[in-house]
Structure 1
Amino acid sequence: MAERGTPVRPIILGGDIGAYATARTFHETYGVRSVVLAGVATWAVTGSVAVDHRVVTGLSDPDLLVAAVRDVAAEEPGTTHLVLGSADWLVDALVTHRDRLPGVVVPYAGPDAMAQVTDKGTFTSLCEQLGIPVPATVVLRAADGPAAAAGLTFPVVVKAASTTAYHAVDFVGKKKVDRADDVAELGQVLARIAAGGFGGDLLVQELVPGGDAEMAAVNLFFDADGVWRFAQFGRVLLEEHTPGALGNSVAQVTGVNAEAVEQARRLLEHVGWRGFANVDLKRDPRDGVYRFLEVNPRVGRSGYAVTASGHDISRMYVDAFVDGRPAEPLVSSAEHLFHVVPLPLVRRYVSRENSALVRRLARAGRATNPLMYRAERNPRRWANIAAAQLNQFRKFARYYPR
Structure 2
Amino acid sequence: MTRVPDNQSFIPVLLGADAATYSLARSFHEEYDVVSVAVSRLGAGPVANSRIIEVSRCADFDDPGGLVAHLTALGERFGDKPLLLLTSMDFLVRRIVQLRGQLEPRFTIPYVDLDLMERLTQKENFSELCTELGIAHPKTVVYDVPQHASLRQTLELDLTYPIIAKPGDTPAYHEVDFPGKQKVHTAASREELDDLMQRVHDSGYPGTFILQDMIPGLDDGMRILTCYSDKSGTVRFASFGHVLLEEHLPATLGVPAAIITGENHQVVQEAKRLLEHVGWRGYANFDLKYDPRDGTTKFFELNPRLGRSNFYVTASGHNPVRYYVEEYVEGSDLSDEPPLLESTKEELYTSLPVPLVLRYLPNDLRKKVIGLAARGRVTNPLMYVRDPHPKRWAYVMAFSVNQVRKYARVYPPPKRNADGTAA
TM-score (norm 2): 0.91
Alignment of 1:121 with 2:132, yes or no, is: no
Deviations for 1:348-399, whole angstroms, at most 9, x for unmatched residues?
Answer: 1111211111111122222100100001222111111111101111111112
> Conserved in 2, the CA contact under 8 Å of 1:218 and 1:280?
yes
Separation in 1 of the partners of 2:362 and 2:275? Answer: 33
> Conserved in 1, the CA contact under 8 Å of 2:172 and 2:206?
no
Between 1:66-75 and 1:47-56, the stretch displaced more is: 66-75
> Conserved in 2, the CA contact under 8 Å of 1:45 and 1:53?
yes
Separation in 2 of the partners of 1:257 and 1:5? Answer: 42
User: Offset at 1:276?
Assistant: 1.2
**2:162 alignment partner in structure 1:** 155
Between 1:13-22 and 1:223-232, the stretch displaced more is: 223-232
**2:353 alignment partner in structure 1:** 342
Alignment of 1:47 with 2:49, yes or no, is: yes
Matches within 5 A, 1:353-368: 353-368=364-379
Of 278, 284, 303, the match for 2:291: 284
What amino acid is aligned across from residue 230 of structure 2 in structure 1? D
Alignment of 1:377 with 2:388, yes or no, is: yes
SS in 1 for 2:328: helix
SS in 1 for 2:318: coil
Aligned residues: 399
> Conserved in 1, the CA contact under 8 Å of 2:239 and 2:316?
no
What amino acid is aligned across from residue 355 of structure 2 in structure 1? P
Separation in 1 of the partners of 2:65 and 2:232? Answer: 29
Alignment of 1:70 with 2:72, yes or no, is: yes
**2:324 alignment partner in structure 1:** 317
Percent identity of paired positions between Structure 1 and Structure 2: 42
Separation in 1 of the partners of 2:271 and 2:163? Answer: 24
> Conserved in 1, the CA contact under 8 Å of 2:17 and 2:44?
yes
Of 120, 125, 139, the match for 2:142: 139
Separation in 1 of the partners of 2:363 and 2:34? Answer: 41
User: Offset at 1:149?
Assistant: 4.7
SS in 1 for 2:355: helix
User: Offset at 1:156?
Assistant: 0.8
What amino acid is aligned across from residue 52 of structure 1 in structure 2? E
Matches within 5 A, 1:149-188: 149-188=156-195
User: Offset at 1:171?
Assistant: 2.3
Deviations for 1:212-254, whole angstroms, at most 9, x for unmatched residues?
Answer: 1110011111222322210011110111112221111010011
Cα distance change on mapping 1:303 and 1:12 into 2, 3 Å: same
User: Offset at 1:84?
Assistant: 0.2
Deviations for 1:304-344, whole angstroms, at most 9, x for unmatched residues?
Answer: 11111210122121112111221222111111111100111
SS in 1 for 2:271: helix
Q: Which runs of 5+ in 1 are unaligned?
A: none
Cα distance change on mapping 1:394 and 1:270 into 2, 3 Å: same
Of 111, 116, 123, the match for 2:114: 111
> Conserved in 2, the CA contact under 8 Å of 1:219 and 1:277?
yes
Separation in 1 of the partners of 2:87 and 2:356? Answer: 29
Separation in 1 of the partners of 2:298 and 2:71? Answer: 38
SS in 1 for 2:373: helix
**1:192 alignment partner in structure 2:** 199
Q: Which runs of 5+ in 2 are unaligned?
A: 1-5, 415-423
Cα distance change on mapping 1:30 and 1:5 into 2, 3 Å: farther
SS in 2 for 1:349: coil
User: Offset at 1:195?
Assistant: 2.0
Of 33, 36, 39, the match for 1:37: 39
**2:133 alignment partner in structure 1:** 130
TM-score (norm 1): 0.95
SS in 1 for 2:251: coil
Of 237, 243, 247, the match for 2:250: 243
Separation in 2 of the partners of 1:171 and 1:55? Answer: 28
Separation in 2 of the partners of 1:368 and 1:79? Answer: 32
User: Offset at 1:168?
Assistant: 0.9
User: Offset at 1:124?
Assistant: 0.7
Of 6, 26, 29, the match for 1:27: 29
> Conserved in 2, the CA contact under 8 Å of 1:140 and 1:202?
yes
Separation in 1 of the partners of 2:157 and 2:297? Answer: 25
**1:258 alignment partner in structure 2:** 265
Cα distance change on mapping 1:78 and 1:352 into 2, 3 Å: same
**1:205 alignment partner in structure 2:** 212
User: Offset at 1:105?
Assistant: 0.8
Separation in 2 of the partners of 1:26 and 1:149? Answer: 50
Separation in 2 of the partners of 1:149 and 1:60? Answer: 39
Cα distance change on mapping 1:293 and 1:190 into 2, 3 Å: same
> Conserved in 2, the CA contact under 8 Å of 1:180 and 1:186?
yes
Cα distance change on mapping 1:303 and 1:215 into 2, 3 Å: same
Of 289, 302, 306, the match for 1:295: 302
